[in-house]
Amino acid sequence: MNPTHEISAAQLQQLLVAYRQFVEQELFPIDLDVVKGPFKSFLPALKALREKAKSLGLFAPHLARNEGGLGLNLVQFAQISEILGQSPIGHYVFNCNAPDIGNMELLHQFGSEDQKEKWLGPLQRGEIRSCFAMTEPQLPGSNPVHMATTATRDGDEYVIQGHKWFTTAADGAQFTIVMAVTNPDAPSPYQKASMILLPLDTPGYTLVRNISIMGEAGEDYLSHAEVKFEQCRVPVTNLIGLEGQGFALAQERLGPGRIHHCMRWIGICERAFDMLCRRALSRELEVGKALADKQTIQNWIAESRAEIKASRLMVLDTAQKMQEHGAKAVKEDISTIKFFVADVLMKVIDRAIQVHGALGITDDTLLSFWYRHERGARIYDGPDEVHKSALARSILKNYSSK
């Protein structure tokens, strides 16, 4: 966020090596045990790894130098994000995990000085975690202008009433940024909602449950919560930005966020691809005949490598354009990478599972964890179908004007 200096290509390469070594040496040996859980039992070990990352000058790479980070631009951070994505705990250990990284960006750009001091600073230092409450169980997340949660002004307070779910990492978080309707009579549906910071010890807030995802509820950072706000009162000064600006702020959050997600997915693809290749070579169907000798397996390996490379180049190109011209200028590119990379992710994981055979559907590897939790990649941040439709309409609009 707002880098204060530029680093050279050589410096970036040194950083990439340092991150790769840390992830492979410190995270790979434990990440399967961590995701098996219980996650909270690993918090002391993860805290120690965070401190080690700080001591090596690798913590919070997305932040500016004067905020404790490395001052990287979007393209540079994207390349690091891919490396961190190879472990399910990579982004968490380096304090650039969703939803915290998006909340940091929001508070950095639009938060008041008091909000920055009380909430942003501790969040950037990794002392607390946060969550983001937007999706509602009774209304389609693909059309967020339909929102039932309200924040009604009562003197110097907002009274928040609503029901949210898939509030990622709410379990153990200290605050949430909640999207709520503050201006129901606004002329545009995109000017009705606002973002409000709500401490999770506020009376009336309830964490109903950690939602079970294909049989796994998880806990703490590795969870998605259903939450309720029942007459929750917060000061009007907890408003982020201006009233009615919620959707505009959400778009500011989503642009870089999709770059982060896509590069993390590519990191997952690389780890799954490595597992696929190793399994194909080590698994003998009969003496002297490896699974890798089969043409179908060779096709999967070739197709996966091409698709991962194409994804990486596409995302980095979008990041470069976004860095130079802003998110609005690359709306088509953002839609394209979102559905394209999500599809590649599921293909590569599925091929890796198939190559592992029965082992692939057990919890003895990371593949089943990723299959469960990353299937949502084709749903959250806008379903694939919505992005494809938006892209097609934009393309056809250009034809209709010819």
Direct distance between the N- and C-terminal alpha carbons of the chain, in angstroms, rounded to an integer: 40
Rounded alpha-carbon distances, angstroms, from residue 146 to 116, 134, 140, 336, 383: 30, 11, 8, 25, 16
Give yes or no: residues 58 and 28 share one domain: yes
The domain tally of the chain equals 3
Domain range for 368 is 248-400
Give yes or no: residues 253 and 232 share one domain: no
pLDDT, position 16:
98
61-76 pLDDT tens trace: 999 998 989 999 999 9
Give yes or no: residues 52 and 188 share one domain: no
SS3 397: helix
Pairing of strands 130-133, 175-181: parallel
What CATH number does the domain containing 188 carry? 2.40.110.10
Give yes or no: residues 258 and 240 share one domain: no
Residues with pLDDT less than 70, the chain: 1-5, 401-402
Give yes or no: residues 326 and 309 share one domain: yes
What CATH number does the domain containing 282 carry? 1.20.140.10
Q: Helices marked H in 240-359 — which ranges?
A: 246-282, 295-325, 331-356
Domain annotation covers residue 386: yes
Give the HSE-up count for residue 54: Cα atoms under 13 Å, Cβ half-sphere: 14
How many other C-beta atoms can be found within 10 angstroms of the C-beta atom of residue 199?
Answer: 15
Give yes or no: residues 46 and 139 share one domain: no
